[in-house]
Every structure is written in structure tokens, then in C-alpha cells.
Amino acid sequence: MAPTVLLAEDDRAIRHALERALTLEGYEVTAVADGVEALEEAHRTPPDVVVLDVMMPGKDGLQVCRELRAEGDGTPILMLTALVETADRIAGLDAGADDYVVKPFDVEEVFARLRALLRRAGRRPGSPDEPAAPAQGLLEAAGLRMDPQARRAWRGPRELELTRTEFELLELLVRHAGTVLDHATVYDRIWGYDFGPGSKNLAVYVGYLRRKLHEPGAPQLIHTVRGVGYVLREG
């Protein structure tokens, strides 16, 4: 059974082109032109993954994303945005999006990111439902605790509110605490695809994760090793 995609894009040419490309790639696509339609369709026929344009009439992509997350909907969400500032991208992550692609985009990049989202959710294009194997036991490092099976994480007594991608990035760092993970390794483990040296995707997620881990007066936990990658350690 083909994975289902709800595509919300107000630009007719982009919507039609992406709908056709996704269909040829093996997805079952429902395409709508605005955020109101997107919410209605998501409620009527829940998809496997949602692709949302940020700038849409009625309700924009950020509003749609917030409403779905407020309802407890954990469907993977990929944002399409023409906004290139880091703050704009962070707004999408804050709304609950799992990933984003900046316009103009290469359709192969969209495919790669969708495959990664579906793989983490236990789906693959053209394959039957297949649950991901749960990680066993609690993880602890640098004052952090994580329960991969329940998808919960704490710094000290404070529970962290993390998106799907943030959780998986933090889990990777905790599992390899004290070891420097290079960019290519992180991209491969989290997204299943290396987006190249020009991509800011990983830096945005690390920055946002640092903000959520921040404790006044406490040491920073995620450190940048310039030109290499990132490492989790205290101090």
C-alpha cells in the first residue's frame, strides 16, 4: 500500500508539479490549496505524512502545524518555505514541524526528506506498514535521561518538550556521549541523507535543541567541534 501524502500549497504550478512528481515516485497524494482545506482533509482522511507550504491564505502552514500538534496529531510534517532566515525556520520547528525544505528546492531533496520521515514513522514508499524497532531501556549521560520507547527526555527533574527530529538528534548524541559525531554521520543517522556542506539544516536543529536544554547557570551540553561536528558532554 502506497504511503499517503497530504500536500498543501497555494501556488498552483508548484502544487501540480509536486503532486505529479510524488505520484510518479509511488505516493498517494491529496493536494489542497490552503490551510483550511488542509486541516479538513487531515481530519477526514489522516495521511502518513503532511507537506505544508508556510505562506498560504486562510490559515498558513504554521497555524495548521500548531493546530494538528495541539490535537495530539503526531503525523510527520515537512514544511516548504521561501523564508531563508534562521528565525523563520525555527518558527516552523517551534510549531511542531519535523523538517523543512527551502524554496526553490530540488524535488529529489523533497523525496529524500520524505523517505527519512516515513522511515522514522515506520513507513516506506511502496511497502506495507512496518513498525520501527523500539530502543530498549533508559539512556543517561551528562545529566540527561531519555526513554526512547516512550519518547520522553529530561534534564534533571525538568521534562523536555521535543519534536520527533529533536528527540532523535538528542538520542543520537546521548548514545555517543563524549564522542564527536561528524556532520555526515548525523545527517545519515537522522535524515538518511547527507545534504552537503552548504546545508544549514543540522545547525538549526542543534541551535534549537540547545535552547530547549538550557538551564540558567548550568553548563552547555552540546558542543561544536569546528569543521567536524558536534559532541555531547558536560562543560
Residues sharing a CB contact under 8 Å with residue 25, sequence separation 6 or more, in sequence order: 111, 125
Percent of the chain topping pLDDT 90: 47
Q: What is the rounded CA–CA span in Å between residue 185 and residue 221?
A: 19
Q: Read out DSSP for 129-168? A: --PPPPP-S-EEETTEEEETTTTEEEETTEEP---HHHHH
Q: What is residue 175's predicted lDDT score, i.e. its pLDDT?
A: 93
Closest of 3, 10, 110 to residue 49, by C-alpha: 3
Q: What is the rounded CA–CA span in Å between residue 88 and residue 61?
A: 12
pLDDT block averages, 10 residues each, the chain of length 235: 92 93 94 95 94 90 90 89 66 77 85 84 46 59 90 90 87 94 87 68 86 89 93 88
Q: What is residue 89's predicted lDDT score, i.e. its pLDDT?
A: 63
Q: What is residue 87's predicted lDDT score, i.e. its pLDDT?
A: 61
Q: What is residue 126's predicted lDDT score, i.e. its pLDDT?
A: 43
Q: What is residue 86's predicted lDDT score, i.e. its pLDDT?
A: 58
Q: What is residue 119's predicted lDDT score, i.e. its pLDDT?
A: 80
Q: What is residue 135's predicted lDDT score, i.e. its pLDDT?
A: 43
- Strand, coil or helix: 109: helix
Q: What is the rounded CA–CA span in Å between residue 68 and residue 219?
A: 34
What domains appear along the chain, each with residue ranges and CATH number? 4-121 (3.40.50.2300), 139-232 (1.10.10.10)
Strand bridging mode 229-232 / 181-182: antiparallel
User: For the chain, what is the largest distance between any 2 Cα atoms, rounded to a whole number of angstroms?
Assistant: 53
- 67 burial (CB, 10 Å; 0-12 / 13-18 / 19+) is middle
The DSSP symbol for 213 reads H
Using alpha carbons only, what angle is made at residue 214 by residues 212 and 220, rounded to the nearest 5 degrees? 125
> Which residues make beta-bridge pairs with 231?
223
